[in-house]
Copies of this chain bind each other. A is one copy, B any other.
Amino acid sequence: MKIPIVENILSANDRLAEENARLLAAEDVLAVNVMASPGAGKTSLIVHTIEALRHRARIGVIEGDVASRVDADTIEALGVPVVQINTGGTCHLDANMVHGSLDQLPLAELDLLLIENVGNLICPTDFALGERIKVMISSIPEGDDKPYKYPAMFAAVQGIVINKIDLLPYVEFDLESFRKLVTGLNSGVQVFEVSCKTGEGIPAWADWLASAIAEMDA
Binding site for B on A (CB under 8 A): 5, 37-39, 65-68, 70, 89, 91, 118-123, 139, 141-143, 145-146, 148-152, 164, 166-167, 170-171
Contacts and interface: CB of A to CB of B under 8 A. Distances in A.
B5 A149 contact: no
Number of copies: 2
B152 A66 contact: yes
B142 A38 contact: yes
A51 to B, nearest CB: 18
A70 B166 CA distance: 27
Interface of A is mostly: loop
Given A70-B149, A167-B171, A91 B143 contact: no
A152 B68 contact: no
Contacts of A164: 141
Given A120-B122, A121-B38, A141-B167, A149 B91 contact: no
A65 B141 contact: no
